Structure 1
């Protein structure tokens, strides 16, 4: 009889069979991530997906606790949508047919381990592209230029550079859908354009479409002379350039639960559920003693509540080459 009463309470509290803890967790999620829903149905669907994704993260973390997985997951800003919806937020990028890439700068042999940010004492802001615009291409481009410029000018605490300028001024209508970093690099190198700091050209991560280019807000002194590329699959070259303190932008397919809700550890990819594009800035590599895995360290643009304070470590292995459409700022 007591079991029956308890089950009835669970049903009444949850509305859909949720427990009181389920409801409390969802309420906390809404508060933590400032979520709003247009209709009762939208909220109900979000509640359902949240419980599913939270349970998915719990199952993954149980594996990590048993040392059968090298990464962990956590609730984040994407935990109220389906994986297929997450993939749809980040559509497959489309590349221009012509490249203006230059001969890469000369480099020294790669070191055993490198972390550009930590080794060079940089203070770099992790950006948040939001959930409305697929703009990682612009954030990764701006951040790679920002990091390399900071190193070359000896400025350990650089101003964040504006991804919004790239979205608004270079995208030809695709700034929130299928655009790629090369277009941003072309804008900077082929037209001698200035990349503005965010305090004069602020980032806006709540709009679903690119805005109008605002020339009067383009100020500053960061100009890029050339960019260079790395052949797909050439992780040896990727490692060498990163070892020489060059941040490299790569295209990555994020359409897995492991990526969507990544929290910590070394992420080993599973088969993606769709074909999507997210651009990451490779800023280091090393060896993880806990898992016994080599890894790449990459800066994402999902904010600090995602991953390891905004970074992800991805397994470094010939089975999972990371160099895909890799591109980097070359000379100023």
Structure 2
């Protein structure tokens, strides 16, 4: 009997310890009053500051959604600009609470770095950009080319695989920072600029003459880009993951920042659960029951973040493609809130 009681006491103690450890990041975030978000130095449409240091982009909106869910304040977030070499160390060391920085979800990153990917905010693939005057129409015409690449990325490995597979040679011109890569390409230090196709479109939109540069048709890799958090804190991981899912679920259910207050009176059970009118889905996350309502009210749904940052009517000009909902021919999909 005594052994049983001791076992129960030990198990209870371990359970309380695990719960306390799991809540550590949320407690720290609440104590300081904001979410610290790791982002790029500036990729238009994804994460970039303006002249007043106001950050915008689809990845910035994700961080704002996280702040909205926790604080009911989308501005309760601060941004840390990180290079490709710095990003994982900064996340693991706790310098940022979440990394939302055009980062590809790969097996080695997911299993060896002590981080966990939340989901795929943007399905992408690596492409190539060249000058129109060079008359190149296909990536298969790039043998022997000098290619500008950012170091510490999957871009290097993908390019090496592609050229080796097709029996072509190439010369890499490697830089630590993406801004350096872009400047080198603009200055003519290389023939080709390669990175995720969305980033190519983003950088081209900022050129003095965007039409003088073309993005070749070949996509040579899968680049699922998404936010990540430190492993080991289940509660924080769930908050980060369901913030992303709430953006998707809201779009699928037709709930937007413009109609969310009206939708509080909806008879649709799924909408009721999403907005916290029915059920108790905030408590397991350590959040208010209106956490998803706050996200939608203050940031919008996934379609809103996409359209205002990278959509067809922006300088980036990207169609939804794979990033459309599953019901619209894409592969974006959220598990149900129930």
TM-score range, shorter chain: under 0.3
| TM-score (ref. length: structure 1) | 0.24
Relative to the length of structure 2, the TM-score reads 0.24
Relative to its length, the structure with more helix (as a share) is: 2
